[in-house]
Chain A
Amino acid sequence: MTAVQISGAGMTFNPGSDNAVRALDDIDLTIGHGEFVSLIGPSGCGKSTLLRLVGDLITPTTGSIEVFGKSAEQARLDRDYGMAFQQAGLFDWRKVAANIELPLELIGWSRSDRSARSKEMLELVKLDDFGDHYPWQLSGGMQQRVAIARSLAFSPRLLLMDEPFGALDEMTREHMQSELLRIHAKTATTVVFVTHSISEAAYLSNRVVVLSPRPGQIHSIIDVDLGERSDAIRETPAFFAKTTEVREALRAVEASA
């Protein structure tokens, strides 16, 4: 079954004016239920824009986007999305646990369910002792982990993540990757994941979409099937072959740009 169907989608910012930017052009992409798809490409090629289109944060200037068989807007209104952005975007006036509980509050979960879930999520991102802190009392990487916990809290059907692990150190990053894969395997959540890291894309994804810039277009799509993943996979020839394939695609994009 199809989770996301992008057909001929294009996005031009400030159309018709002097500073019009053609960020995306004629994107066709189908993402299956439970699939993990990464978007990779040079800075400014439109990865975030594509993610925001899928999340109905902006509306495409051409083409259409369907999510779970309905319009992206309807999917948003049905609260099918969990989102984590490049910046954590936590609410300074809420303590860490209350930040994670906000979406649950809006859906109408009871207080005890909410606090049980936020506790569980804090354990997941290894911040057990920080629920009672304010976000500004945490480091940037810790804030990012809270934002990830928040995006996962209400078990959304579609996770949209924009470089969520960018601010993390290598070890935390690998831990978060494993946790994300575990959640993904357990819940059959569909994930669209923007990253700059070739190895991250190869490790996490079923498919890696390589974008080329100006205007953003799909350059190639690389199937990765590493099967059951563990840290040992990172050192296998199959993993190495996939990272090489992605790297070469990115080189080709850079060369043509």
Chain B
Amino acid sequence: MNRLGFVAPPIIVGLCFLAIWEGGVRLFDIQEFLLPKPTSILSALRSEWAGEIGAGRLTNLREAGFETGKVAVIGLIVGVVVGSLLALATTRFRLLRESFTPLAVVANATPIVALAPIFNAWFGITGATSNVAVVIVVVFFPVFINVARGLTEVHPNQLELMRSYAASPTTVLREVRIPNALPFFATSLRLAAPLSVIAAIVAEYFGGPTNRLGPVITQNASFARYDNAWAAIVVASALGLVLFGLALLIERAIVPSGRPIEID
């Protein structure tokens, strides 16, 4: 009952939303290029899922979803690892902390995806490297900032206690700072997972291989195949949801449920 009670309301609301959408488009006779019906999107999803490219087809959604997914996941993993490691380094090296952290805070507040066209110039416009690079940079900042906070915002009492045990900085890191940072890390994963898909697709709008969700959306839109473009957007959303779900699973595994994040 419990889990069902948790899942059922959003599913019901979602289905109602789709029904209203479908009904509204039919009732007011809205043009397909403005807003295709959910059923049209569904049939585009079916026909384009594993279609042969060419022969009047612009796309193979399975392949596009897989390739974009790869870019997002690789960028996500690298961004999370680099962000966490650098956060660890800043807690050990004061100079790094004082010079780099403020810059990271500023960078985190800017629209980093805007760099995508520049990255094409740096890493080449035909390969996926520049797309991955955009994802890495976009993921890096929230992870770095959250993990760094978790590592430094430790209750002073706990640090004094470790001092009274004559604990070395490494022991403090292992026993206090890293465990303290785990909920912050989990939060940053939850932020970064869907961000990685957004970043990958926006980066793909500007360059890189064309068998990806980004180009599939732009090309289908320019050929007025809005049903196909919407189908690609559905695949992108599914990708984001899957990664978000994975982030939640990781959070479950590393933070006991109910543990408060508090600092006073």
Residues of A that sit less than 8 Å from B by CB: 52, 55-57, 76-79, 81-83, 85, 87, 89, 91-94, 102-103, 106, 134, 136-137
CB distance from B115 to the nearest CB of A (A): 37
Which of B49-57, B159-167, B220-228, B229-237 is the interface stretch? B159-167
List chain A residues, Cβ under 8 A from B258.
134, 136-137
Docked CA distance A252–B259 (Å)? 47
Contacts A77-B166, A106-B171, A134-B256 hold; do A57 and B160 have CB atoms under 8 A apart? yes
List chain B residues, Cβ under 8 A from A92.
259-260
Contacts A83-B160, A91-B176 hold; do A106 and B167 have CB atoms under 8 A apart? yes
Judge whether B155 is part of the interface by a CB distance below 8 angstroms: yes
Decide if B179 touches A91 in the complex (CB within 8 Å): yes
Contacts A57-B160, A134-B259 hold; do A93 and B165 have CB atoms under 8 A apart? no
Judge whether B60 is part of the interface by a CB distance below 8 angstroms: no
Judge whether B157 is part of the interface by a CB distance below 8 angstroms: yes
List chain B residues, Cβ under 8 A from A85.
157, 160-161
What range describes how many residues of B lie at the interface?
20 to 34
Decide if B164 touches A83 in the complex (CB within 8 Å): yes
Judge whether B182 is part of the interface by a CB distance below 8 angstroms: yes
Judge whether B39 is part of the interface by a CB distance below 8 angstroms: no
Interface of B: prevailing SS: helix
- Give A58's nearest chain B residue, CB to CB: B160
Residues of B that sit less than 8 Å from A by CB: 155, 157-158, 160-161, 163-167, 171, 175-176, 179-180, 182, 256, 258-260
Decide if A81 touches B164 in the complex (CB within 8 Å): yes
Residue contacts A-B, CB under 8 angstroms, 22 given: A55-B164, A56-B163, A57-B163, A76-B166, A78-B166, A79-B165, A79-B166, A83-B160, A83-B164, A87-B155, A89-B158, A89-B160, A89-B161, A91-B176, A92-B260, A106-B171, A106-B175, A134-B256, A134-B258, A134-B259, A136-B260, A137-B258
Docked CA distance A197–B180 (Å)? 34
Contacts A102-B175, A136-B259, A136-B260 hold; do A91 and B166 have CB atoms under 8 A apart? no
Docked CA distance A79–B157 (Å)? 17
CB distance from A45 to the nearest CB of B (A): 20
Docked CA distance A81–B164 (Å)? 7
Decide if B166 touches A93 in the complex (CB within 8 Å): no
List chain A residues, Cβ under 8 A from B182.
93
Of the listed residues B161, B163, B256, B260, the one surrounded by the most CB atoms of chain A closer than 10 A to its CB is B161
Give which listed residue, A76, A82, A89, contacts B155 with CB less than 8 A.
Answer: A89
Docked CA distance A124–B190 (Å)? 43
Give which listed residue, B158, B160, B256, B260, contacts A91 with CB less than 8 A.
Answer: B158
Of the listed residues A81, A89, A134, A137, the one surrounded by the most CB atoms of chain B closer than 10 A to its CB is A89
